Structure 1
Amino acid sequence: MVERANRPSNLSAPKASAPGPQVDIVGQGGSQKVVATLPSGESVEVLLFGATVTSWKSNGGKTENLWLSEKADLTGSKAVRGGVPVVFPVFGPPPKSGHATSSLPQHGFARSSRWEFLGKSDTEDALDSDSVKLDFGLDRSGLSEDARKAWPLDFGLVYSVTLSKESLQTVITVRNEGEESFEFQFLLHTYFKIQDISKVSVTGLSGTEYVDKVLDATTHQQKDNAIKFTGEVDRVYKAIPQDTTSILEDGKPRFDVIRDNVKDTVTWNPWIEKAKAMGDFSPDDGYKNMVCVEVGAVDGWQKLEKGEVWEGGMLVKSLL
């Protein structure tokens, strides 16, 4: 048998590629949402109305991490009570006059506008099935006529939601598409699902100045390392030096909330009377099973000149 110098090597069968994340668009009209599921079972659901994350399941899909009111409107007719609503371009009631946002409703228009699904981003590794990134977009053309009149500025938003096995990352990119500068605020109004609010504490805000809305918007200093809940809490913590705020249940870490290019955090629980007073908050005692830890840029204003871009958001780790 003649030995050939350039004999081909043995052919090896190609490796079977790992199953990738599944992404589906389900529902119709205002109820349409994007659902992404990892092969290991973790999932996220994003309602196109408001680009609101309404569900995030970790632990192989067994553990729901977000609280959603039983009376949350998921039809695209009003902002969702629960999940992760996107607040832009103003937090809370807008300034009464003299500001570009003064004619807007509380919390702005992002959470009550229909966003466009821009698609699933490819991962760097084609065989990586451990994460999936979903992108959503909103610009002036996607606003209602009333919102365009109230805020007559050209802008572009891209909101990226990245699901991994043990975390959820949500980041917004704001671009000034117009000729004149504008100012804005931004907040991710996240409702975390917990077992018992009386056993919950929030850490990582020690030494930080905050505005207490329950106490007539007076300013205070956080002295204790842990915030505990024995009544209504509505506080805006400003210029937090450390990046991570943690939620503990029964003394055990439950969530790490890591700020990304934002320095402020709101902590909120409506407690008994306020929960009963909100028509879309259900059940009435649902305050026992939720706590809001909301990262954002709400102390003052972010300013963008023509063509400038700003980005900020959070990474949340589920520690179960």
Structure 2
Amino acid sequence: MEASIEPQYNTISSLTKTLHELISQTLQMDRPNKPSAISPSGTGPQPSVHSEQGRVIASLPTGDSVEVLLYGATVVSWKANGRENLWVSEAAKLDGSKPVRGGVPIVFPCFGPPPKDHATSALPQHGFARNTTWEYLGKSSSESGKLASGGDDSVKLDFGLSSSQLSEDAKKAWGYDFALVYSVTLARDGLQTMLNVQNKGDKAFEFQMLLHTYFRIDNISKVAINGLGSTTYIDKVLNATEHQQSSPSLQITGEVDRVYKSIKLDTTSITQDGKSRLDVTRDGLSDSVVWNPWIEKAKSMGDFEPKDGYKNMVCVEVGAVDGWTKLEAGETFEGGMIVKSHA
């Protein structure tokens, strides 16, 4: 590891200590409109956690599991009630050679192609978080802290990324001192993912963040997305023009690439055949992106397989992407999601 988060920290152990301190600060934050955290409800066998070949895998005695690549801290599998909830392309690269097509890639510090004449303008599309190797900081109790007494309902995995871990090119392109902690909490029927951003330098910076979640569904023609009614969105398929969704339910019948801004309801729900499939609750975030490439766009992407895979996935992505979030020196930002699975 090269330079560190702060000049006086010049060892891996010091970096880890700093990130753990950030985790502690994160758990003490009082977030507005905070949904109920995933937490255990009883006692019993402990969850199991192990790491292998650049990934961390956690499972509950119930059989529910989550798998996270250190490359990008990308969640590539989440199984609940014996069912896989995330879609990953059959052609996705899982060897660290390029960002993963599928799962939950982390977009930071810019969403999409960065604008010209901005501090992020020299960065690649979606920034560097999804194609940088993160550090596994270990497992811990859930946000409620109740796991200390034992239980089989929840386990939290923490991953860290700081400016010192970036490639030289990324450091030159975005030369700010920062620390990220990404917390992935696996619970019975639920998954919570939270990104904490801290400005460790002496000057402010602006950023965008998004959890680019690919959900697995059985048939896109039978899916509806609820909770976006009366919301203004930017339609990237229609030259980034603004529209307002009049229907409370969105059904996908072609390519969709929309940025929904300042959504009034905290939860966006995915139904299948009229039945609840997944509930996505934003925590500290007000925007969501809905994306499905449909036929032609899927054909044009080399790492999208099978080509008719668009029938079995839909992206509902929580984030802060309408404009920029400014973080002053020493300030901290946190946002993420809680997803509930319905069998």
- Pair in the same fold by TM > 0.5: yes
Distance 2:199 2:305 in 1: 38
Structure 2 counterparts to residues 238-277 of structure 1, below 5 A? 238-277=261-300
- Out of 139, 146, 155, the residue aligned to residue 132 of structure 1 is 155
Structure 2 residues not aligned, in runs of 5+? 1-42
TM-score by length of 1: 0.92
1:111 aligns with 2:133: no
How far 1:241 sits from its partner (Å)?
1.0
1:211 maps to amino acid: I
**Residue aligning to 1:8:** none
- Out of 103, 111, 114, the residue aligned to residue 94 of structure 1 is 114
How far 1:124 sits from its partner (Å)?
2.2
**Residue aligning to 1:306:** 329
Q: Secondary structure at the match of 2:238?
A: coil
**Residue aligning to 2:72:** 50
**Residue aligning to 1:11:** none
- Out of 22, 47, 50, the residue aligned to residue 21 of structure 1 is 47
1:86 maps to amino acid: I
TM-score by length of 2: 0.86
Distance 2:160 2:330 in 1: 17
Distance 1:118 1:253 in 2: 34
Q: Secondary structure at the match of 2:201?
A: coil
Distance 2:265 2:272 in 1: 21
1:147 aligns with 2:170: yes
Deviations 1:39-90 (A, max 9, x none): 111000000000000000001xx10000000000000111000000000000
How far 1:102 sits from its partner (Å)?
0.6
**Residue aligning to 2:16:** none
Distance 1:170 1:225 in 2: 26
Give aligned-pair identity as a percent: 66
Deviations 1:219-246 (A, max 9, x none): 0000001111110000000000110000
Distance 1:127 1:42 in 2: 17
Deviations 1:262-310 (A, max 9, x none): 0000000000000010000000000000000000000011111110000
**Residue aligning to 2:56:** 34
Coordinate RMSD, CA, aligned: 0.8
**Residue aligning to 1:9:** none
Distance 1:223 1:315 in 2: 26
Structure 1 residues not aligned, in runs of 5+? 1-16
1:172 aligns with 2:195: yes
More helix by share: 2
How far 1:129 sits from its partner (Å)?
1.4
Distance 2:173 2:87 in 1: 31
Structure 1 consecutive aligned stretches of length 4 or more whose deviation exceeds 3 Å = none
Deviations 1:118-154 (A, max 9, x none): 0001342322210000000000111111101100000
2:129 maps to amino acid: A
**Residue aligning to 2:39:** none
1:319 maps to amino acid: H
1:85 aligns with 2:105: yes
1:318 maps to amino acid: S
1:117 maps to amino acid: Y
1:69 maps to amino acid: S
1:119 maps to amino acid: G
Larger radius of gyration between Structure 1 and Structure 2: 1
1:196 aligns with 2:219: yes
Distance 1:163 1:262 in 2: 20
